[in-house]
Amino acid sequence: MRFLKNIFGKKENTIQSYADFWHWFQQNEKQFFKVIKQHTNIEKAFFDKLSPKLQQLKDGLFFLTGMSDNNTAELIITPDGIVKNIVFVEELVNAAPTLTNWKFTALKPATEIENLSIKMAGYHFDNKHLSFYENSHQDFPDEIDITVVHQDLTEKNKSEITTGTFIFLDNLLGELNFATTIDNLTVVGNEAVANELIPIEKLKDFLRWRQKEFVEKYDGIRYLTEKDAYATMEATLPNGKPLIALINTDLLQWDGKASHPWIVHIEINYDGKNNNGMPDKNTYERLNKIEEQMISELKDADGYLNIGRQTADSAREIYFACKDFRKPSKVLHKICNAYKHSLKMNYDIYKDKYWQSFNRFQPQQ
């Protein structure tokens, strides 16, 4: 009876770590390789098995697969351009075992321009149809603002051409560079060109030069907030509920903002329906405790600056400006997981070199 119980009562282990995932993968890799090489029943026999395992490990992880050569299958793990998930993809692939018939790649790699030509929705995306130019801004000299020109773009096909251009650039530059080096990107047609066109094959070198220039300019810059002044700001939302913000006003006047270009926005939702959208005493103390935990792990001396917070309409929003995006991604994922059964928490990470997201907290001129 014990033998029967083990057979019928056994449950497949949940994936809780990188080691768990790769242990499971190794148990199935021979069958997976066969399916990919023969390209038979690939969706059911590979996609449908791998996807739920990745989601158990971390939501927001996706994959591409195919044969790298006749004897090697390649598995590319991708966050699909979501910056806050890049570090988890990199860590997962770094933990991968060495398997004879497999190549594991973190993030979609760059493709040489000579090998890149995409046809989508009847339009071509290649070095014959695409070019670019830079938009310079006197007030924002470090901003990398690019306009890409597709010669066939019209108002009617703008959506399809823009989507295809983004896919082309993702392949040309590689996922990491496309997601992290360009600050602003616009796609236009020939009639909207406002500067001298540059061949699209020169975009990689241009971005490499601009990024090197930026890193050299701001390398080693640190800011300490210990003696900074904070201001409490009050406002009323359109629905009549109050908003209270506590903002580091000295930090917002800093002229080195571009050195900390990654903005972290955390939102914590709570029940404020009986208090006009504001937290009660116990909730207020709990929110402060969570924020203090974030600040203790994301220190200003290490390149993570707490800009402040705002509280309104059953939500506490907390803001950081950071030198990089990898450590905040891990710290905040851990903290959100720790409170997931009692509070709804989420975070986003995006690039804003001049902190224009916080203009609303600046004094009106």
pLDDT tens digits along 207-217: 999 999 999 99
What ranges make up the beta strands (E) of the chain? Answer: 62-69, 72-78, 102-106, 118-120, 123-125, 130-135, 145-150, 184-188, 198-199, 230-236, 242-248, 262-269, 304-312, 315-322, 344-351
Nearest to 144 by CA among 169, 116, 112: 169
Hey, where are the domains in the chain?
A: 2-106, 113-218, 230-361
281 in the Ramachandran plot: left (φ > 0), alpha (ψ -120 to 50) or beta? alpha
The neighbour count for residue 48, using CB atoms within 10 Å, is 11
Nearest to 352 by CA among 184, 166, 135: 184
The neighbour count for residue 178, using CB atoms within 10 Å, is 22
pLDDT digits (tens, 9 = 90+) for 263-319: 999 999 999 999 999 999 999 999 999 999 999 999 999 999 999 999 999 999 999
**Measured CA distances, 139 to 264, 278, 362 (Å):** 23, 38, 16
pLDDT, average across residues 224-241: 96
Q: What is the pTM of this model?
A: 0.93
Q: Note the pLDDT of residue 40.
A: 87
92: Cβ contacts below 8 Å, ≥ 6 apart? 18, 21, 57, 58, 61, 77, 106
Tokens (6 digits) for 58 = 């971390």
What ranges make up the beta strands (E) of 162-302? Answer: 184-188, 198-199, 230-236, 242-248, 262-269
The neighbour count for residue 33, using CB atoms within 10 Å, is 19
Q: Which CATH class is domain 230-361?
A: alpha beta
Query: Band of the pLDDT at 362, cuts 50, 70, 90?
Result: confident
